Chains A and B, each alone.
Chain A
Amino acid sequence: MRLALTLASRNLFHDRLRFIATLVGIVFSVVLVMIQMGLFLGFGQMVTTMIDHATADLWVVPKGAKCFEDPSLLDARLANRVRNVDGVAGVVPLVIGFSDWRQESGEMTPVFMVGVDLREPGLQPWNIVDGTVEALSERGALAVDRSYFDRLGVNGVGSTAEIRGKRVKVAAVTDRIRSFTTTPYVFVDLKNARMYTGAPPDRASNLLVRLKQGTDPEKVAQSIRAEVGDAEVLTNGEFQSRSRSFWLFGTGAGAALFAGALLGVIVGTIIVAQTLYSSTKDHLGEFATLRAMGSSNSYIYNVIIYQGVLNAVIGFCVAAAIGLVVVEATARSALPIVITPSLMAGLSALTLIMCVISAIGAIFRVVRTDPATVFMR
């Protein structure tokens, strides 16, 4: 190991209390940023979960629809025109909307209905742990997620409730299809969806378009646009991006998460800078001795930067371990924290940059040290 690194590590670990205080600061900061960004990613994934699980290459949506949950409706008869466009393999109308769920006990709770023609691939419930998709075609049949059992007052397949005065029965149970809002998703057949949301028979929320293999989605989208008038035609990626940007930035939620992350970075930088400065001040005599011995400024900067880097590496490892525990703990929550390898890589770089920037104050202090002071003590 290089002696400068040895000196840096010994300086750092010599005062254990200060080292622990520095670590706590870094860990607090990195965990805060990690959680904020993990929430951001988790939120970003959750708001597009329906689009992600749809078997669609293109979406025909009402003009100006901001997200999957947008309640605007379009003319369902457009589906026939779209079907005739060259390159289109199938079109499935989708009806979504809010409705009221009345438990057996009489308690009411809002639900978000998702209805498609279940005979065709489009948007069917996934992660089914009890019951079948086929059973949903029966009148009054629906699928709910088991994480909402308490909220909906049900306990599995066969449980009953009422929607808009109509008796409904749980025919399938899913796992981990959670809404990022407090409103549970309820999957039903297209006809039932119209009944429960009040959508007219000639209206649909969106059209899910499947393309024939080997066709160019952009080219087909262009052809569909010519057929659907005011309605918009979006690729899967465009619809995901639009939904994500609406929920994350249109609502201010993303900005709040970013602000929290920024706060974490600022707090962390200040804490590390303060402790590095104080550590450097305590070792000024040693740095003056090094300078008197003829050490270059860059050698001394290296010692200080090594201290910052050591802080970063150790702090990040502890923070990463805490982050993994948080990920595990929130995996089944309403808003899971998602930490991806790229987020980890970004955070490690951020921690390193934060700690190196923090060393600047200490470096400025050392630059002002006069080596002649060694002879005065």
Chain B
Amino acid sequence: MNDAIIEAASVHKTLGAGAGQVEALRGIDLSLQRGELALLMGPSGSGKTTLLLVLGCMLTPTSGSVTICGQPTKDVDKEGLAKLRREHIGFVFQSYHLFPTLTAAQNVQLALDIRGERGRAAVKKSREALAMVGLQNKVHSLPQQLSGGEQQRVAIARAIVANPSAVLADEPTAALDGENGQAIMKILKSIAQERSRAIMVVTHDPRVVPFADRIIHIEDGRLVDANESEYKHLPKVTALKM
């Protein structure tokens, strides 16, 4: 059985046009496996976010291919890409992006609502997801009544409530203190292991390295060997698995 949830082959992505054209990704080959937590690390401007957007079906590659659970994204229109995201991918954003007028439970439930899951079952699922991230007592709280760590946990609950095959997290600990950052990474790690989901975390934060099964290094739009990376000094960096 193929455990690859997201696969990228020879992915190139050019952004902009004319004199401002930039080749953000230059031949990326990557496979994100079920049950692993991978870190995507690299300096600013290295192409981390572009790669995340391509793997997350928000951008299509200029050349090369991306498949999500075996489905190619090539020639898929915007609604089709949205459907792929809806069915297979959960997102966690650096700035949480919770809906300020909705309670924690409603924020989580929204991920089910856009999939057409409504009613009591959806309410139950959203409460379970909040309980999983330790926020069973905050279901009725509005985002502004929660700390940064709690808001990020709501965002994680929202990302996993619909049981996606992969979770892509963009700097999920960047706005948090050490303790909260650790708590968030523990949750993501447990989702990868216990729920057998593929998790990719884009990060600059060396404190999260111990949680990684694998670290993917990117520089100038190319994946590089750990030894060539500016992060080579970090502990527990495993070899790039392909």
Q: Which positions in A face B, CB cutoff 8 Å?
A: 2-4, 6-7, 10-11, 14, 285-286, 289-297, 299, 370-372, 374-377
Choose among A294, A299, A375 the residue that contacts B85 (Cβ–Cβ < 8 A): A294
Cβ of A286: which chain B residues have Cβ within 8 Å of it? 97, 99
Contact call A3/B106, Cβ cutoff below 8 A: yes
Between-chain CB contacts (< 8 Å), 18 pairs: A10-B102, A286-B97, A289-B93, A292-B56, A294-B84, A294-B85, A294-B89, A296-B79, A296-B83, A296-B86, A297-B79, A299-B113, A371-B82, A372-B58, A372-B59, A374-B93, A375-B49, A375-B170
Contact call B91/A293, Cβ cutoff below 8 A: yes
- Closest A residue, CB atoms, query B159: A293
Q: How far is the CA of A199 from the CA of B89 in the complex (A)?
A: 91
Cβ of B69: which chain A residues have Cβ within 8 Å of it? none
Given known contacts A374-B93, A375-B52, is B99 in contact with A294 (CB within 8 Å)? no
Q: How far is the CA of A293 from the CA of B6 in the complex (A)?
A: 17
Contact call B114/A371, Cβ cutoff below 8 A: no
Cβ of B101: which chain A residues have Cβ within 8 Å of it? 7, 10-11, 14
Q: How far is the CA of A376 from the CA of B102 in the complex (A)?
A: 23
Q: How far is the CA of A290 from the CA of B113 in the complex (A)?
A: 11
Given known contacts A3-B106, A10-B102, A291-B82, is B93 in contact with A375 (CB within 8 Å)? yes
Q: How far is the CA of A375 from the CA of B202 in the complex (A)?
A: 11
Cβ of A370: which chain B residues have Cβ within 8 Å of it? 58
Contact call A299/B102, Cβ cutoff below 8 A: no
- Closest A residue, CB atoms, query B112: A3
Q: How far is the CA of A292 from the CA of B98 in the complex (A)?
A: 12
Given known contacts A299-B114, A375-B170, is B102 in contact with A293 (CB within 8 Å)? no
Query: Is B104 in the interface zone, CB < 8 Å from A?
Result: no
- Closest B residue, CB atoms, query A290: B114
Choose among A2, A7, A297 the residue that contacts B102 (Cβ–Cβ < 8 A): A7
Cβ of B106: which chain A residues have Cβ within 8 Å of it? 3, 6
Query: Is B151 in the interface zone, CB < 8 Å from A?
Result: no
Scan B111-141; emit 1 where CB is below 8 A from any A CB, else 0: 1011100100000000000000000000000
Known: A296-B86, A375-B94. 17 other contacts (CB 8 A): A3-B102, A7-B102, A7-B110, A14-B101, A286-B97, A292-B85, A294-B84, A294-B85, A294-B87, A294-B89, A294-B114, A295-B82, A295-B86, A295-B114, A296-B79, A296-B83, A375-B93
Cβ of A4: which chain B residues have Cβ within 8 Å of it? 113
Contact call B93/A3, Cβ cutoff below 8 A: no
Q: How far is the CA of A272 from the CA of B49 in the complex (A)?
A: 38
Query: Is B53 in the interface zone, CB < 8 Å from A?
Result: yes
CB distance from A28 to the nearest CB of B (A): 27
Cβ of A291: which chain B residues have Cβ within 8 Å of it? 82
- Closest B residue, CB atoms, query A12: B101
Cβ of B109: which chain A residues have Cβ within 8 Å of it? 3
Q: How far is the CA of A3 from the CA of B111 in the complex (A)?
A: 10
Cβ of B97: which chain A residues have Cβ within 8 Å of it? 285-286, 289, 292, 374, 377
Q: How far is the CA of A296 from the CA of B95 in the complex (A)?
A: 22
Cβ of B111: which chain A residues have Cβ within 8 Å of it? 293
Q: How far is the CA of A296 from the CA of B81 in the complex (A)?
A: 10
Contact call B58/A3, Cβ cutoff below 8 A: no
CB distance from A137 to the nearest CB of B (A): 76
Residue from the set B53, B91, B110, B118 with the largest chain A CB neighbour count within 10 Å: B110
Q: How far is the CA of A2 from the CA of B117 in the complex (A)?
A: 11
Cβ of A6: which chain B residues have Cβ within 8 Å of it? 102, 106
Q: How far is the CA of A370 from the CA of B58 in the complex (A)?
A: 8
Cβ of B49: which chain A residues have Cβ within 8 Å of it? 375-376
Q: How far is the CA of A371 from the CA of B79 in the complex (A)?
A: 12
Cβ of B53: which chain A residues have Cβ within 8 Å of it? 372, 375
Q: How far is the CA of A290 from the CA of B118 in the complex (A)?
A: 16
Q: How far is the CA of A375 from the CA of B52 in the complex (A)?
A: 9
Q: How far is the CA of A374 from the CA of B95 in the complex (A)?
A: 9
Residue from the set A3, A7, A375 with the largest chain B CB neighbour count within 10 Å: A375
Cβ of B58: which chain A residues have Cβ within 8 Å of it? 292, 370-372, 375
- Which 10 A-B pairs have CB atoms at the shortest separation, nearest pair first? A294-B86, A10-B101, A294-B85, A295-B114, A3-B113, A289-B97, A372-B58, A294-B82, A372-B53, A14-B101
- Closest B residue, CB atoms, query A292: B91
Cβ of A285: which chain B residues have Cβ within 8 Å of it? 97
Q: How far is the CA of A10 from the CA of B101 in the complex (A)?
A: 6
Contact call B99/A7, Cβ cutoff below 8 A: yes
- Closest A residue, CB atoms, query B101: A10
- Closest A residue, CB atoms, query B56: A292
Q: How far is the CA of A285 from the CA of B100 in the complex (A)?
A: 11
Cβ of A7: which chain B residues have Cβ within 8 Å of it? 99, 101-102, 110
Q: How far is the CA of A376 from the CA of B59 in the complex (A)?
A: 14
Choose among A14, A296, A375 the residue that contacts B82 (Cβ–Cβ < 8 A): A296
CB distance from A94 to the nearest CB of B (A): 68
Cβ of A10: which chain B residues have Cβ within 8 Å of it? 99, 101-102
Scan B164-192; emit 1 where CB is below 8 A from any A CB, else 0: 00000010000000000000000000000
CB distance from A306 to the nearest CB of B (A): 13
Q: How far is the CA of A11 from the CA of B91 in the complex (A)?
A: 23
CB distance from A73 to the nearest CB of B (A): 73
Cβ of A289: which chain B residues have Cβ within 8 Å of it? 93, 97, 99
Residue from the set A3, A286, A290, A374 with the largest chain B CB neighbour count within 10 Å: A3
Scan B50-70; emit 1 where CB is below 8 A from any A CB, else 0: 001100101100000000000
